[in-house]
Structure 1
């Protein structure tokens, strides 16, 4: 309840109708409602300004709202059945409008209630346009078309969201739409919208541009000069699709997407604030993800192995102890964590630092459903649809999983028996390994709590870490400025009815997994399909990609639906999804715009320029110069030799080193578990990034290092033209134009030091937008 003047309290957005009814009729001796003379009711007199109050006039006598409230009082101010007043369906007409600038139309909104009654509630709705440059809407649903393009009119009614799509064509299309060959169904949807809007798509990109683009997007690396030459010389009309297939099977594709999933899952922060980060925990999680993606297991199975993870995985304590010894030994020896990567499940997802189990629900919603639930901890946000009860009823699925919390004392931990077993097996190992083993096993075990666990020590206020001997309910609870609220039901997000409590010992998370797999799940497939689309185009079909709210409609709903249906039909095969997008003409079109699509940012009429992600960009520079570290640079302890930043190397660069500075400058996220947003990774260009490649000492050292690739080029190629061509292929993945070749040769003639001249040429190319951006 929200505190008002004079003790008058109503629930936020009418969330508690029974309590609101009591406030109006019974609080303050019932002075707010006059059942004998309804028009003299105090709440009507104040709202219409007939009695002065600080809120001012809110409506007029005789208005639509006034008549509803007055008639309700005249009928005795009844409390209608809450069940019957639930809305079954919202009907918006017209649901789709296609027209031209300066046209007008009015929306009509009706609802069907649970009891079957139907009512026009247009005047009670809130209308908002998501693109006011195309369409504007007033409080009564009257839409004015103002520009060419598309817009969604979002309609809000308590507990309901509707939408009307507006597509506005130009008054006159000057040029006929070009004959464009569709590669697959993606192009059918994209081209249909462009044709309707009179926007001409860009041409297909050339082979060199395609090759560089697809290498960077699929593997996070540049093609070698020999690969560029071979691709340009290949006359096979199917060479693009064959190259896509080969790259999707390349180990670097798994490395790239393991990095992306680390961002999405926020697999960091394994200790409380102020504690040193557990780098090896993060690296183990990365290697586990990379192994699964290399296997190309179906996406639903990947999520299941994360969502339903346990530490023992049904094995004996002895087997788990043996695994723990091998994991620690690999860490001490600076090897990749192949033992952890071979595990079936990723229990590290549940090992992260958390404040409460409600946080689990928020992070599961963000990672696997593309939803922003954090505001629902306190209230129902006016710009979203989720309530506290929605969040808490969903959080109850995760309340039986104990997790590590650095502030808990004693904390959720592995049993003394398994620690003793592991230490016994570790006899003969270095003392450091034994110390790590004891500490890491003590960090926690993930398992499913039973009723017996809940009744014993380890639960307090619904939290499932071991910090109290008090009994607890095992249900989610939150406390906010609006009070304390709990839920004792299990209900999936977006569904009205709760499900039955499963028997004791049943992993409630499996129920969530079964719900995610349902073909009619409104979020699961859509969230990952939208994120993969955003990876290749720089914006999602729903944008931002982690806001799959009904208030944030997709730009191309039919395309998104068909992609999701195909993804599910193909067994949640991620490579099918990547392949389908990459083979489309939409992905393969040029970034060079024409007069009609120059300002397009929503309809994918051209390939949108994107700055390379931090790890990819820095790895590409190292690929150009041929070295990863300079003499005297310290290698982070425990980092396996020779790994690229994209291969997990970035995880080890936590301290204030040149690499750490560069990663931060180019937007690599910290993966802070408290930040539930894809926006933590920053891909926008800024001045600091430009200055880094232009002036940073680490860049200059690598360019001057005698071990770098320039020495090989000067030895291998005798002529100036050959050397310049090789440098262009190495940096920009294309041949130089005749003009570029001439300018480079003229520049080299003016330099007193030939070696320094070639270094300057490489320096100029890596500082170009063509190198830093994917085009």
Structure 2
């Protein structure tokens, strides 16, 4: 029966778990036969009972030296056991300040950015942010403040402990009690003379959490145990002194003891970040719904296999496949940034070919509409911002370079190599405009890491990254790749040429004073000759098939474009503490993208041909709240540019943009300068291109947007304009109203009107015509106004404003 249960304790591989010294502890984790945590529901027995004490929560503390068997028993009579050893019980172990004291400040929030860890400290007491500079913390704590904070002769009277325990008023409240391990550890440290530690003391190399992942029922709990691995080969249980943070508090919470509690009525994925010194680890929990999932739609490619496997694990049924009208409109907006034309709607709906959806996707990808729409997306991400009239040629040329590259389906690795290594003047090499838009070395390294690799390095400029492994050394090593970029004036006023400034590539770490050589993230420093451009080495590393960031970042970004949620969200924050909701899907997409030769059109084709993308937005009885697992399509509001173009289309009008040819679509605008002259683009959230983050684009709803659509002069002029839709339809006396209404619905929604919609529209037009007759008014004018009202009503519906 023992084989049906499992008991775990932190230990070296293939060795018994040990407790060394009187203050050591171990956290047991007991797993039941159904792979569920039963740590707190079993009873414990130690044999012999004189060696260790085991609490009801599985917390083990030593009583004397020796070997002991700890037995865990369930109420049903099942049992399992583990052998433990206690050594040096009579010898208190020396305390190391960085390893054991500083982590307590992090655990209790003392050195957070809102408390003593902020740059100026709090109430005269400062700590380094999250303990990343323990030598500074030692200085602040032991040597500053004239010794008032610590009283080694009577540690319990120290200001640090009296405030931390709540004995004295403290803005942060009581952080620990007198009986806690944390309080006693600080007392022991002071009793030992407040040592910093010896240079020979082992250094932390890494941490890991057990279990690393688990399927957990709603309302259940999971105890974690955290191992710390040191340079001398030792392993220690640090479960009680690390800090924990849930990334989805609405799904699960975690306490300071590493106990994760799943909330009821929630399904999906959540993660717990564990931080200890400069290292992080992650526990991932999948919370299933448990509904039968036998009847999934047919899988068309590997995307569906990965998504449906996850949905089956969750017990979360998917929605049905969407109908043709929804698919047609959805793909036209998502791929080409426009509504289907009336002719396209009629041709597609009358087409009986079994592969017509794939054919339609291919036709969209072959158009300049696709290239214009996606160059609009990339122009914003790459900050193609106009700064005065002298920048006009540059922003236009950069946009055209993007558009031409996308239309020709230039491989993504080639496109990015051309961007990052660009030299010369804009007239000969438009990609070089990026170095004008992203003006200095700091912006270039941060934008490159975030946009192209999904790594937000900004925090590491001043201190170790709080949620990642990146240090200041990593930051300045990456910065060094751009240290030899030079710019010089050209014959064109306001423009500059980019060149390689011959010299040794380094970046100075201001904290250490060291000149750091170019260093890929996670790699070693490179020795690059002064005459060689380090950007070539950067591009080669980034676009290598073995690069762990490059392909994943791109497929994650494009996945969000089509599904309104990335596999890793936010899409450009792909850190270990922000795990993907479907790792197999992300890995498979990245592998497929690399194997395709970094083919962007192939990636879009693969996504849009999947059953997953073609699922209906209409939820079933179980997936209405699913935002993580793609069990249905999630509607999204049309972007500012697409919405303006769509309104122009349905009203039969055209928006004029200064310096652009008549008929230019809003999605074709090259830079940010048109926002200031278009209230519509501003109020509907077109980005100013100040940031490399797509979050700069505002996609939320607002009162100003509603009022603009309802009664702005801009919209009214489009509705009433001569030659517009209402004007043309009302003047076509040879066509019946029913036919005209069908046309409007197909242009707006890619479908004909429902029976009640047709009746409402006909009744309204007839009513307006009859009122004009009775008032002996102008019937033609009344008919035109009726069509204006009808078009106005259509463009104010959620069906029009959203992509479904």
> CA distance change for structure 1 residues 102 and 762 in 2, over 3 Å: closer, same or farther?
closer
Quote the Cα distance in structure 1 between the aligned partners of 2:580 and 2:513. 33
Aligned to 1:370: 454
Cα drift, residue 22 of structure 1: 6.3
Which residue of 2 is the match for residue 408 of structure 1?
none
Give 1:765's aligned residue. 794
CA root-mean-square deviation: 3.3
Q: What TM-score results when the alignment is normalised by the length of structure 1? A: 0.79
1:489 matches 2:516:
yes
Tell whether the 8 Å contact from 2:379 to 2:670 is kept in structure 1 after alignment.
no
> Of residues 240, 261, 274 in structure 2, which corresponds to 1:155?
274
Contact 2:166–2:175, Cα closer than 8 Å, also in 1: no
Q: Which runs of 5+ in 1 are unaligned?
A: 313-323, 325-339, 404-411, 420-436, 455-472, 479-483
Tell me, in whole angstroms, the C-alpha distance in 1 between the residues paired with 2:791 and 2:120. Answer: 66
Q: Which residue of 2 aligns with 1:684?
A: 700
Deviations along 1:374-417, one digit per CA (max 9) or x if unpaired, are 344444464565444432232122121135xxxxxxxx424xxx
State the alpha-carbon separation in 1 of the partners of residues 163 and 514 from structure 2: 35
Relative to structure 1, the CA distance from residue 45 to residue 136 in structure 2 (aligned partners, 3 Å threshold; closer, same or farther) is closer
CA 1:729–1:144 in 2, change beyond 3 Å: closer, same or farther? Answer: same
Which residue of the partner structure matches residue 481 of structure 1? Answer: none
1:215 is matched with 332
In structure 1, what is the Cα distance between the partners aligned to 2:527 and 2:193?
41
Question: Take 1:357 and 1:40, find their aligned partners in 2: how far apart are those partners?
Answer: 51
Alignment of 1:41-52 (within 5 A): none
- On the 8 A contact 2:385/2:673 being kept in 1, the answer is no
TM-score (norm 2): 0.76
Q: Which residue of 1 aligns with 2:645?
A: 619
- Deviation of 1:290 after TM superposition, in Å, equals 0.4
**Equivalent residue for 2:721?**
705
Q: Distance in 1 between matches of 2:174 and 2:640?
A: 54
Distance in 2 (alpha carbons) for counterparts of 1:619 and 1:487: 53
- Residue 414 of structure 2 aligns with which residue? 301
Question: Are 1:90 and 2:207 an aligned pair?
Answer: yes
1:281 is matched with 394
- Cα offset for 1:707? 2.1
Question: Number of residue pairs matched?
Answer: 670
Partner Cα distance (1:85, 1:71) in 2 = 21
Asked if 1:669 is matched to 2:687, the reply is: yes
Cα distance change on mapping 1:81 and 1:520 into 2, 3 Å: farther
Q: Kindly tell me: are residues 210 and 376 of structure 1, through their superposed partners in 2, closer, same or farther at Cα, counting changes over 3 Å?
A: same
Q: Residues 717, 566 of structure 1: CA spacing in aligned structure 2 closer, same or farther, 3 A cutoff?
A: farther
8 Å CA contact retained: 2:651, 2:719: yes
Match of 2:609 in 1: 583
Preserved CA contact (<8 Å) 1:152 1:164: yes
Question: Could you tell me how far 1:616 is from its partner in structure 2?
Answer: 0.9
Corresponding residue for residue 496 of structure 2: 444
- Shift of residue 232, structure 1, vs aligned partner: 1.1
The counterpart of 1:563, out of the listed 589, 601, 610, is: 589
User: Helix, strand or coil for the counterpart of 1:351?
Assistant: helix
Residues 283 and 651, structure 1, Cα contact 8 Å, conserved in 2:
no
SS of the counterpart of 1:586? Answer: coil
Assess if the C-alpha contact under 8 Å between 1:389 and 1:486 holds in 2: no
CA shift in 2, pair 1:69/1:571, >3 Å: farther
Separation in structure 2 between the aligned mates of residue 165 and residue 224 of structure 1, nearest angstrom? 46
Deviation at 1:545, TM superposition (A): 1.6
Separation in 2, partners of 1:4, 1:219: 52
Q: Which has the higher helix share?
A: 1
Does 2:588 correspond to 1:475? no
Structure 1 residues 5, 265: closer, same or farther in 2, change over 3 A?
closer
Residue among 761, 779, 797 paired with 1:744: 761
Task: Establish whether residue 357 from structure 1 lines up as the match of residue 472 from structure 2.
Answer: no
CA distance in 1: counterparts of 2:356 and 2:305, whole angstroms = 22
1:13-412 correspondence runs (5 A): 13-18=130-135, 20=137, 59=176, 63-65=180-182, 74=192, 77=195, 79-81=197-199, 85-87=203-205, 89-147=206-264, 148-149=266-267, 150-170=269-289, 173=291, 177-270=294-387, 278-311=391-424, 340=427, 343=428, 346-352=431-437, 354=439, 356-380=440-464, 382=466, 386-403=470-487, 412=488
Quick one: distance in 2 between partners of 1:43 and 1:507? Answer: 56
The 8 Å contact of residues 384 and 672 in structure 2, kept in 1 or not, is answered as no
Distance 2:616 2:762 in 1: 29
CA distance in 1, matches of 2:213, 2:724: 60
Residues 693-731 of structure 1: CA deviation (Å, up to 9, x unaligned): 222222222222222245555549622221111111112
Which whole-Å CA distance do the structure 2 matches of 1:580 and 1:61 have between them?
60
| Contact 1:358-1:392 at 8 Å conserved across structures | no
Compared with structure 1, are the counterparts of its residues 269 and 718 closer, same or farther at alpha carbon in structure 2 (3 Å cutoff)?
closer
Per-residue deviation, 1:254 = 0.9
Q: Give, in angstroms, the shift of residue 491 of structure 1.
A: 5.4
Partners of 1:603 and 1:25 in 2: CA distance: 51
SS at match of 2:634: coil
SS at 1:530's partner residue?
helix
Query: Runs of 5+ in structure 2 lacking a partner?
Result: 1-116, 770-781
* Other-structure match for 1:507: 533
Corresponding residue for residue 643 of structure 1: 664
Q: CA deviation at 1:206?
A: 0.5
Partner SS for 1:346: helix
Give the superposition deviation at 1:743.
2.0
Describe the SS at the equivalent of 1:278. helix
Q: Which secondary structure does the structure 1 equivalent of 2:661 belong to?
A: coil
TM superposition shift of 1:231: 0.9
Contact 2:438 2:444 (8 Å CA) reproduced = no
- Give the superposition deviation at 1:759: 2.4
Q: Offset of 1:565 from its aligned partner?
A: 1.7
The match for 1:724 among 737, 741, 749 is: 741
**What's the secondary structure of 1:183's corresponding residue?**
coil
Secondary structure of the 1:585 match is: coil
Instruction: Please give the per-residue CA displacement for 1:437-474, whole angstroms capped at 9, x wherever unaligned.
Output: 3x13xx322111123xx9xxxxxxxxxxxxxxxxxx96
